[in-house]
A and B are shown apart, each in its own frame.
Chain A
Amino acid sequence: MVNPYALPAVLAVTAVTVVIGAYGLRLARSTSDLLVASRTVSPRWNAAAISGEYLSAASFLGVAGLVLKEGVDMLWYPVGFAAGYLALLLFVAAPLRRSGAFTLPDFCELRLGSTRMRKLSAVFVIFIGWLYLVPQFQGAGLTLQTVMGWPYYVGSLLVAAVVTGNVALGGMRSITFVQAFQYWLKLTALAVPVIFLLLHWQAQGRPEVTPPTGNTFLATTTVHFDAPAVLTVTTPTTVTVAPSSTPRLLQPGKHTFAAGSDVTFPAGATVPQVSGTPDATGWLHPGTVPGGLFATYSLIFATFLGTMGLPHVLVRFYTNPDGAAARRTTLVVLGLVGLFYLFPTLYGVLGRVYAPALMLTGDTDAVVLVLPGLALGHGLAGQLLGALVAAGGFAAFLSSSSGLLTSVAGVFSTDVLGRGSVVDFRRGALIGGLVPFILSLTVAALDVSMVVGLAFAVAASSFCPLLVLGIWWRGLTDVGAMAGILVGGGGAAVAVLLTFLGYTGDGLLATLLHYPGAWTVPLAFTVMVGVSLATRRRVPSTVGLTMLRLHAPEALRPRAL
């Protein structure tokens, strides 16, 4: 079911993005406009831009998919993604802006005066950037596969190529306005269809989201299994399994379907349950996810503390004129991001009613994309709304991955390849785009939000302790910071790599590796404090001056002469 309006919508989004990016500069033609042009970006614009850059494929597609699949436990994802800005607001926003640092390596150099620490943080910026770029390309592949029927790798390749080319050639000049536009586009793309969906749901007499007897298929549905699946059938169901057209009766109990089979369920049939996902009661009750409470706490640690370590978010704070504006911006971001996350959750809930087939195949990340079509039918309204959602999703990949790739390429050009020339930046953009593209082709099995959650875990166990201790504790030394990042961040990075490798053990070790946040973050803090205390003599002699700079309002700043 290819949506004929999706391709024009996606192309329009791409074109508008590029045009605003190239021509949306503040142009002034008379001297009186100079004052306007020299006015810094207001916190509202800046906040919309930060939100636009931040709300990625994980937020746009992944959250709804996880809610559909796992239930209420997954609400911690949107809560954490938004609440990360609270930690940022409380501990980091204003002091970081006052420091004048543009990137995280800059901050390391300023606070710790160590070139080696600068290099180490550059490596982590690149690692986190790549990890975060992978799900963006994954999401793009999934979107074009779902709405256009193209092979998975085409979408990844397309977004990777567009973004890499644009960043390498410096096409995004007025990035703030592009990203602010993207935020409102994404919000509209989710909010407008969900209003129609809710009205439709209301008109249908509000079908239950978790009926006690299990969800039912509202229409005749053909489910295609890419991987072998074990279904638990609770009521006798008559299905047809392609290629044979003779109906087959499934008795209550477990049934195995081979990879590649197409199973058609009649309308009104009860949706069977896939092994490994919660049933209706489990969906509604917390604590049923794999990994249990430990996984939930890990997630909370990672998302609450990881936001402050995301390179593409911190870079945007530089646009604020001063610390107070940075704080106001963060506050607005909290509001904007919080508003946005209301909608993916609703898609996940409604998906249980209208898109139960996704629960069978595990492609729950696609729920946002297919829901308008499934619920409202494939008439004009359904297709237009579907196209709007696809366009919004595309905006999500474009904006997040441009921001991430710009950060990664910037760090490549200044700290790895050379001293930051344009050629270095372009080479950095090419390398920075290629690696996550290759990765995105191979980790297709992991949920988009899961991968992003892992990126957050690495950020939370490396840069969060560095920033919080660096800003609020004068005792932090370069050796302590390095040890903390290597142990905590390195531990999280190893856990992530093992998860990527497809390590699927059982028991405690697997839980620790798949959900590293709850042990790596405290570990990083402990090591950082401990080693700093042991190397107390290496505290930079200028730490008092640096602290004054970070914490005193700009007007009180001592002027060097």
Chain B
Amino acid sequence: MDPTASIAIGVLVLGVGGALYLVMGARGRRGIATPGQRATYSVLQRAALAARPLWNGLDETSASKAVRHLRALVGSVGLAIGDNTRVLAIDGLGEHHRDKLEAALRRVVDTQGSAVLRGREIACAEPDCPVRGAVAASFPGGGLVALTESDPTPGLVQVTLSTAQFIAAQLALAELDSSRARLARAEVRALRAQISPHFIYNALTAIASFVRTDPERARELILDFAEFTRYSFQAHGEYTTLAEELRSIDRYLTIERARFGDRLQVRLEIAPEVLPVTLPYLCLQPLVENAVRHGLSRKPGVGTVTIIAHDAGAECAITVEDNGVGMDPAVFANGSLSGESTRHGETEPHLGLANVDERLRAAFGEEFGLVVETGPNAGTKVSMRIPKFRAEVLT
């Protein structure tokens, strides 16, 4: 074989191997460490592995994934985990003890306590079955039973009890997570009802001015207005596509242009590849509304709103920019982005931004918030990144 070929193969093998190594997270396990450090490491590692499935709540799938690591934590020959009614998963020995395990589980779940089982309570008739005892402990929503080959020791009791506490903490996290998601959904619904009263008033007066002079245009505007409100109040689903969102923005801008005329210029740069991207309802429209309202309406002369959506690998990058009066970045820094405080007796100019920011973070993760670049008389530019795929985010 010629030497260059072997170099090439070496590179390829090393590359793939290196990728595998990085991917499977196998780095940095060995090193110079005291036995104590290694023990801490291995316990925490196991605990992390056991915790991850539990964050999805307690069901058969998550239990069967977690039970292996939990058994390693407890250090028993067998471990069963169950909810309030039945055993969900068993690891190690004990499959043929299912009935007895279930009974033990019910006992501790009912009392919300723990129990030590010996002899007849847990052992079976099979001659070569080594199970001699068990410790059962409950946590809110279920319980676990650890099997042992000898009489249960106080050590096992202690470990089983603290493992139950650990499971309880992880399940509470899952609960917290889902209530956060519920909160985010509630916020979307709340935002739907938040079409600015100013906008309704301004839109209707603008339309009214056309009713006599240009009835046809007035009719079209009313239809646009109707469609716009329908989209904003749509009852089902919390996610929409960028294409739909842009369509709604089009209606909004048509109405605003009836009011501002040629003073409002719009510039768009949309990569068609990102139009099917899924994003929370009404997370772009408030930014455009903001750009029109605060970027232009307080400023004489022509104002331009620029909407850009670009393809950026596994993400989509969206920016909404205006060349209006801008604002002092300090306003954001002192926390008034939450939209609650008022200044000079009027509502803060970025009411919708905080809401959009929170909902984006809730949907895609903390690193996907809004980025606002602004300064007095320097216009405002608001950017967001939307990942093209998130398993949790489905239309």
Tell me the A residues contacting B by CB distance below 8 Å. Answer: 25-31, 33-35, 37-41, 100-103, 106, 109-110, 113, 116, 119-120, 122-123, 126-127, 130, 170, 173-176, 318-321, 406, 409-410, 413-417, 419-420, 422, 425, 431, 435, 438-439, 441-443, 497, 500-502, 537-538, 540-541, 549, 557, 559-561
CB distance from B394 to the nearest CB of A (A): 6
CB within 8 Å for A127 and B272 given contacts A101-B389, A106-B389, A419-B367:
no
CB within 8 Å for A561 and B61 given contacts A37-B268, A38-B243:
no
Is B313 a contact partner of A406 (Cβ separation < 8 A)? yes
Contact of B12 among A122, A413, A497 (CB under 8 A): A497
Is A561 a contact partner of B185 (Cβ separation < 8 A)? yes
CB distance from B209 to the nearest CB of A (A): 18
Which residues of chain B come closer than 8 Å to A431, judged between CB atoms? 15
Is A39 a contact partner of B5 (Cβ separation < 8 A)? no
Is A38 a contact partner of B250 (Cβ separation < 8 A)? yes
The answer for the CA separation of A419 and B22 in the assembled complex, in Å, is 13
Interface status of B103 (Cβ within 8 A of chain A): no
Is A442 a contact partner of B4 (Cβ separation < 8 A)? yes
Contact of B275 among A40, A101, A438, A442 (CB under 8 A): A40
Query: What 10 A-B pairs are tightest by C-beta distance, nearest first?
Result: A38-B246, A442-B8, A102-B388, A34-B250, A28-B268, A102-B389, A559-B236, A106-B389, A119-B23, A559-B237
The answer for the CA separation of A41 and B274 in the assembled complex, in Å, is 10
Known: A29-B266, A501-B1, A549-B394. 17 other contacts (CB 8 A): A34-B266, A100-B395, A102-B389, A103-B314, A106-B389, A116-B24, A120-B23, A122-B19, A123-B20, A319-B272, A321-B243, A416-B19, A420-B313, A420-B387, A438-B7, A438-B11, A501-B6
Is A442 a contact partner of B313 (Cβ separation < 8 A)? no
Tell me the B residues contacting A by CB distance below 8 Å. Answer: 1-2, 4-9, 11-13, 15-16, 19-20, 22-24, 59-61, 64, 185, 236-238, 241-243, 246-247, 249-250, 253-254, 257, 265-273, 275-276, 278, 310-315, 367, 387-389, 391, 394-395
User: Among the interface residues A102, A414, A502, which one has the most CB atoms of the partner chain B within 10 A?
Assistant: A102
Is B253 a contact partner of A175 (Cβ separation < 8 A)? no
Which residues of chain A come closer than 8 Å to B2, judged between CB atoms? 442, 502
Which residues of chain B come closer than 8 Å to A559, judged between CB atoms? 236-237
Is A541 a contact partner of B236 (Cβ separation < 8 A)? no
Is A34 a contact partner of B268 (Cβ separation < 8 A)? yes
The answer for the CA separation of A444 and B212 in the assembled complex, in Å, is 78
CB within 8 Å for A415 and B23 given contacts A123-B16, A561-B236:
yes
Which residues of chain A come closer than 8 Å to B236, judged between CB atoms? 559, 561
Is B314 a contact partner of A27 (Cβ separation < 8 A)? no
Which residues of chain B come closer than 8 Å to A34, judged between CB atoms? 246-247, 249-250, 253, 266, 268
CB distance from B392 to the nearest CB of A (A): 10
Is A38 a contact partner of B19 (Cβ separation < 8 A)? no
The answer for the CA separation of A29 and B9 in the assembled complex, in Å, is 53
The answer for the CA separation of A475 and B94 in the assembled complex, in Å, is 26
Can you offer 12 A-B residue contacts whose CB atoms are under 8 A? A37-B246, A40-B243, A102-B388, A103-B389, A106-B391, A174-B271, A435-B11, A435-B12, A441-B4, A443-B5, A501-B1, A549-B394
CB distance from B290 to the nearest CB of A (A): 17
The answer for the CA separation of A30 and B389 in the assembled complex, in Å, is 31
Which residues of chain A come closer than 8 Å to B243, judged between CB atoms? 38-40, 321
The answer for the CA separation of A414 and B342 in the assembled complex, in Å, is 41
Is B367 a contact partner of A442 (Cβ separation < 8 A)? no
Q: Which residue of B lies closest to A421 (CB)?
A: B367
CB within 8 Å for A38 and B12 given contacts A31-B257, A109-B391:
no
The answer for the CA separation of A454 and B367 in the assembled complex, in Å, is 40
Is B270 a contact partner of A41 (Cβ separation < 8 A)? no
Is A319 a contact partner of B266 (Cβ separation < 8 A)? no
CB within 8 Å for A319 and B273 given contacts A119-B24, A443-B5:
yes
Which residues of chain B come closer than 8 Å to A113, judged between CB atoms? 61, 391
CB distance from B14 to the nearest CB of A (A): 9
CB distance from B365 to the nearest CB of A (A): 8
CB distance from A173 to the nearest CB of B (A): 6
CB distance from A156 to the nearest CB of B (A): 13
Q: Which residue of A lies closest to B266 (CB)?
A: A31
Which residues of chain A come closer than 8 Å to B1, judged between CB atoms? 501-502
Is A110 a contact partner of B391 (Cβ separation < 8 A)? yes
Which residues of chain B come closer than 8 Å to A28, judged between CB atoms? 266-268, 270
CB distance from A481 to the nearest CB of B (A): 15
Is B15 a contact partner of A435 (Cβ separation < 8 A)? yes
Which residues of chain A come closer than 8 Å to B24, judged between CB atoms? 116, 119
The answer for the CA separation of A149 and B68 in the assembled complex, in Å, is 64
Contact of B8 among A30, A170, A439 (CB under 8 A): A439
CB within 8 Å for A25 and B253 given contacts A497-B12, A502-B2:
no
User: Among the interface residues B249, B257, B275, which one has the most CB atoms of the partner chain A within 10 A?
Assistant: B275
Is A541 a contact partner of B313 (Cβ separation < 8 A)? no
Which residues of chain A come closer than 8 Å to B268, judged between CB atoms? 26-29, 33-34, 37
Contact of B61 among A40, A413, A541 (CB under 8 A): A541
The answer for the CA separation of A439 and B6 in the assembled complex, in Å, is 10
Which residues of chain B come closer than 8 Å to A422, judged between CB atoms? 312-313
CB distance from B58 to the nearest CB of A (A): 12
Is B313 a contact partner of A31 (Cβ separation < 8 A)? no
Which residues of chain A come closer than 8 Å to B311, judged between CB atoms? 173, 175
The answer for the CA separation of A41 and B246 in the assembled complex, in Å, is 15
CB distance from B182 to the nearest CB of A (A): 10
The answer for the CA separation of A38 and B237 in the assembled complex, in Å, is 21
Contact of B278 among A100, A110, A500 (CB under 8 A): A100
Is B388 a contact partner of A318 (Cβ separation < 8 A)? yes
CB within 8 Å for A123 and B23 given contacts A40-B276, A321-B243:
yes
Q: Which residue of A lies closest to B15 (CB)?
A: A435
The answer for the CA separation of A410 and B314 in the assembled complex, in Å, is 6
Is A130 a contact partner of B275 (Cβ separation < 8 A)? no
Is B5 a contact partner of A500 (Cβ separation < 8 A)? yes
The answer for the CA separation of A413 and B275 in the assembled complex, in Å, is 22
Which residues of chain A come closer than 8 Å to B312, judged between CB atoms? 170, 422, 425
The answer for the CA separation of A501 and B4 in the assembled complex, in Å, is 10
User: Among the interface residues B7, B247, B391, which one has the most CB atoms of the partner chain A within 10 A?
Assistant: B391
CB distance from A31 to the nearest CB of B (A): 5
CB within 8 Å for A176 and B273 given contacts A127-B16, A406-B313, A541-B60:
yes
The answer for the CA separation of A538 and B89 in the assembled complex, in Å, is 11
User: Among the interface residues B1, B265, B310, B388, which one has the most CB atoms of the partner chain A within 10 A?
Assistant: B388
Is A100 a contact partner of B12 (Cβ separation < 8 A)? no
The answer for the CA separation of A442 and B4 in the assembled complex, in Å, is 6
Which residues of chain A come closer than 8 Å to B61, judged between CB atoms? 113, 538, 540-541
Is B12 a contact partner of A443 (Cβ separation < 8 A)? no
Is B266 a contact partner of A30 (Cβ separation < 8 A)? yes
Q: Which residue of B lies closest to A37 (CB)?
A: B270
Is B253 a contact partner of A31 (Cβ separation < 8 A)? yes
Is B313 a contact partner of A425 (Cβ separation < 8 A)? yes
Is A438 a contact partner of B8 (Cβ separation < 8 A)? yes
Is B12 a contact partner of A26 (Cβ separation < 8 A)? no
CB distance from A272 to the nearest CB of B (A): 27
CB distance from B91 to the nearest CB of A (A): 12
CB distance from B247 to the nearest CB of A (A): 5
Is B267 a contact partner of A29 (Cβ separation < 8 A)? yes
Which residues of chain B come closer than 8 Å to A175, judged between CB atoms? 273, 311
The answer for the CA separation of A431 and B241 in the assembled complex, in Å, is 33
CB within 8 Å for A321 and B314 given contacts A33-B268, A439-B12, A497-B13:
no
The answer for the CA separation of A410 and B388 in the assembled complex, in Å, is 11
The answer for the CA separation of A113 and B236 in the assembled complex, in Å, is 26
The answer for the CA separation of A439 and B118 in the assembled complex, in Å, is 66
Is B8 a contact partner of A500 (Cβ separation < 8 A)? yes
